[in-house]
Amino acid sequence: LAKTTQPISMDSYEGQEVNITCSHNNIATNDYITWYQQFPSQGPRFIIQGYKTKVTNEVASLFIPADRKSSTLSLPRVSLSDTAVYYCLVGERYSTLTFGKGTMLLVSP
């Protein structure tokens, strides 16, 4: 399983765009990149998944460069309710889900 590295924490203000970058230098050909969000005392929630280039849904965008050695989760115009831990996972769709320690995003007024 490819190892991922992401910042331990990030701070932002309401209304700003937040970009969280994840490094995964040894990503394999069959690996997908998946992001989860976790609020306190709740289980993680799937946000977005991609293989290459850009993926967008109603919650976020995921940017993946051509070499796929990193990815960036972009949250447009964050609000206080986006305060959470964000996890980047890399692996085959048939593999287990290995979570790292994630990035704690704190959004302030």
Partner 1 sequence: DVKVTQSSRYLVKRTGEKVFLECVQDMDHENMFWYRQDPGLGLRLIYFSYDVKMKEKGDIPEGYSVSREKKERFSLILESASTNQTSMYLCASTAQGTTEAFFGQGTRLTVV
User: Applying CB under 8 A, does 3 fall inside the site for partner 1?
Assistant: no
- Segment contacting partner 1 by CB under 8 A, of 13-21, 37-45, 54-62, 63-71: 37-45
Contact in structure between 84 and 103 (CB atoms under 8 Å): no
Among the listed residues 58, 66, 67, 94, the single contact to partner 1 using CB under 8 A: 94
Among the listed residues 43, 58, 66, 81, the single contact to partner 1 using CB under 8 A: 43
Q: Which residues pair with 65 in a beta bridge?
A: none
Tokens 């849904």 — which residue? Answer: 57
Q: Per-residue b/e over 7-37, b at no fewer than 16 CB within 10 Å?
A: eeebebeeeeebebbbbbeebeeebbbbbbb
Among the listed residues 4, 22, 27, 36, the single contact to partner 1 using CB under 8 A: 36
- Segment contacting partner 1 by CB under 8 A, of 18-26, 31-39, 61-69, 75-83: 31-39
Token representation of residue 87? 């996890």
> Which residues of this chain interact with partner 1, rule CB under 8 A?
32, 34, 36, 41-46, 49, 87, 89, 91, 93-102
